[in-house]
Amino acid sequence: MDLLKNRQERRTIGMWVGAFVALLTFVEFQVKDEWGQIAIAWLAFLAFGYAIGHVWKGNARSTYAALGVAAGVAHWLLIVVVSLVFYPGAAAYPLGVWFVRFAMGGALLFIAGAIIGDLSARKKVTVNMAVVAGALGIAGSILTLVKG
């Protein structure tokens, strides 16, 4: 059963992703240290991805990729909007670098967590999939370290 085919599950997951992005952005703006924000984003995207993969197990990897991209892009958009509204000099910020850091990095970390969560819930963790999830996690981690 694919997650994106069931209308009720699609609404539910959309609300969960929206709540996750809003809460993550709120928490990140409470922390003034840049490295603290990065650590929070790493843990949050991995943990939320793992939870989604574990709860909604058995979906295609492309479903988890779509959810990760949606969460990453929504996170980036919310950060940009909040920054532009509350910080007058935010228009000079490197928004392209932010896209790589928050959208792409977050999406890859989410996908890695979702794959591991799905596999562990179904008790089918293989070396190949662990390597794939690990590579996605490392790539996402590196992308979140990009500075403008």
Amino acid 132: pLDDT: 81
From CA 35, how far away is CA 54, in angstroms rounded? Answer: 28
Structural contact between residues 111 and 139, judged by C-beta atoms closer than 8 angstroms: no
Q: Model-level pTM?
A: 0.82
For the chain, residues with pLDDT lower than 70 are 1-5, 146-148
User: What's the one-letter identity of residue 117?
Assistant: G
pLDDT of residue 3: 52
What pLDDT, on a 0 to 100 scale, did the predictor assign at position 1? 46
Length of the chain: 148
* Residue 5 confidence (pLDDT): 61
Q: How high is the pLDDT of residue 20?
A: 92
